[in-house]
């Protein structure tokens, strides 16, 4: 790495800060890819890989638009994410919840998220009020679309999994918001 750092500094005049940012970006990408693959193998074993992809997509949109809790270690993040997705894909969908209750809870999530989102990571640079408003709007639209699909296609397995991803995400988002407000 030291030779590569020297190369970047001499050839492209990168600063130490720019190299640290690039190093952080590469490590983050490799970390996310490895976690995605490890969990993908797990859900493939249970013949739930398509559900895993769907839940991951929903979670990615939610995290991008609203942030949430962040673990400090790779293993902590892997275990938290794995537990989260096992609950959403394999455990909670077995509980019967009527469509009307799903819709009521989704409406509550739309309202709550409008007031508390986004809650960015402490490692992310400050979000401007304009950007905050954009994220909040994207989140509102996304959750409203999920609400409409749940209304039109009740008791759909993918939408049920998406519902639980949203519910747990809103729970951890509320915790992250509370921690931010209290600190």
CA dist list (Å): 72 to 1, 56, 122, 148: 23, 20, 11, 36
Residue 119: strand, helix, or coil: strand
Q: What pLDDT score does 2 carry?
A: 67
pLDDT of residue 4: 77
pLDDT band for 125, please (50, 70, 90 cuts): low
| pLDDT at residue 181 greater than cutoff 90 | no
Share of the chain above pLDDT 70, in %: 97
Backbone angles phi, psi at 170, to 5 degrees: -65, -35
Q: Band of the pLDDT at 148, cuts 50, 70, 90? A: very high
Regarding pTM above 0.75, the answer is: yes
Q: Which of 131, 165, 138, 132 is nearest to 52 (CA)?
A: 165
Please, which residues bridge with residue 67 across strands?
119
Q: Residue 67 has what DSSP assignment?
A: B
- What number of CA atoms fall less than 13 Å from residue 1's CA on the CB side? 7
């Amino acid at each position: 790495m030291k030779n590569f750092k020297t190369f970047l500094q001499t050839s492209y005049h990168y600063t130490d800060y720019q190299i640290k940012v690039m190093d952080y970006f590469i490590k983050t990408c490799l970390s996310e890819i490895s976690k995605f693959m490890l969990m993908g193998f797990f859900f493939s074993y249970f013949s739930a890989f398509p559900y895993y992809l769907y839940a991951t997509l929903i979670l990615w949109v939610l995290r991008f638009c609203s942030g949430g809790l962040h673990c400090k270690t790779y293993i902590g993040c892997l275990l938290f994410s794995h537990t989260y997705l096992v609950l959403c894909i394999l455990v909670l969908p077995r509980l019967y919840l009527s469509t009307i209750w799903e819709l009521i809870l989704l409406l509550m999530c739309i309202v709550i998220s409008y007031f508390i989102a986004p809650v960015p990571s402490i490692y992310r640079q400050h979000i401007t009020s304009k950007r905050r408003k954009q994220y909040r709007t994207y989140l509102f639209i996304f959750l409203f679309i999920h609400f409409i699909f749940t209304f039109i296609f009740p008791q759909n397995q993918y939408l049920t999994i998406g519902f639980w991803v949203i519910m747990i995400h809103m729970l951890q988002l509320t915790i992250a918001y509370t921690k931010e407000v209290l600190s």
